[in-house]
Amino acid sequence: MKKVTILVPEMAVAAAVVDPRYMFTAVNDFFKSSGHRPFFDVKTVGLAREVELNDGLVSIHTDFLLKDVDKADLIIIPAISGDIDVAISRNAAFYPWIVEQYQKGAEVASLCIGAFLLASTGLLDGKSCSTHWLFANEFRARFPEVQLADDRVITHQKGLYSSGGASTYWNLLLYLVEKYTTREMAIIASKFFLLDIEKNSQLPFSVFKGQKDHGDTLMLAVQDYIEKNYANRLTVDAIADKFGVGRRTFERRFKKVTANTVVEYIQRVKIEAAKKQLETGRKTVSEVMYDVGYTDPKAFRDIFKRIAGLSPVDYSNRYN
């Protein structure tokens, strides 16, 4: 049996502890109903035998204390909530144990912003990772050595798994079920839990807010200028001239603080404006395209799909 160890950190999201347990125990039931032995040995593990969550509203009684667990095959790190600095600090005792188990051959999966705890172990350095799109800027600033794939629902590299935001962790759980058992079992689980087994992108759900906590007042002014004038024709040269900065210096400085090139930032601001119009208005796709400063339908469609994960028509049909 595969030993699945679900950590119960301080400040965990209760559902992100309960749901993985439900998934793997349900798969065990599927095996038993077909005349086979259970496949997973599922245990919850904490730094204390009782962990209070949600300001004491929820209390989880762990199966084992961390110090009493010698071996794990798969470690699940749940999503966390509240102040991320506090959560990272309070759960520091988990990190050496996670690293030790990984070095012994265990695989590790983080759910949503549980990626902050996994990244704190150092195991993700030089590797890719997913987390909730809303926390992408904060994650990049805190862990610059990790390659954040904030558009992906699931990332997997060298036995380290991570999921995108919120309920997308169910897709990672399905992915793990398929990896450890069979595609057939994953399909059964997807039907039981009513999950889309092929969902692989967070882009249709993300909202672009830019990276504005960098403290570079000149680049903040540039960002503000782009966001107020996105409907106009904006060029890198014209913006650099307006703010009195050489183009090469401007591009390098802007990319450093925003994690986007100037052109990428302009495109993302335009597409975010287009998304809002498609969500709430009665305008056609063509009208929205012109409103946000595009005149070439193919270019608009291609850029929109690359950034939003859906074509403008599909996005409108889903959200309007």
pLDDT (tens digit per residue) in 243-266: 999 999 999 999 998 888 999 999
For the chain, the C-alpha Rg in angstroms (whole number) is 22
pLDDT (tens digit per residue) in 188-232: 999 999 887 766 666 665 667 777 878 899 999 999 999 999 999
Could you tell me the end-to-end alpha-carbon distance of the chain, in angstroms, rounded to an integer? 47
* Residues 227 and 202: beta-carbon distance below 8 Å: no
* Residues 258 and 211: beta-carbon distance below 8 Å: yes
147 phi/psi in degrees, rounded to 5: -90, 100
Query: What DSSP assignment string belongs to 143-209?
Result: -TTSEE-TTBSEEEETTEEEE-SGGGHHHHHHHHHHHHS-HHHHHHHHHHTT--TT--B-GGG----
* Residues 123 and 98: beta-carbon distance below 8 Å: yes
What does the block give as tokens for 55? 């300001």
Please state whether the predicted TM-score (pTM) of the whole model is above 0.75.
no
Give the separation between CA 170 and CA 47, rounded to whole angstroms. Answer: 25
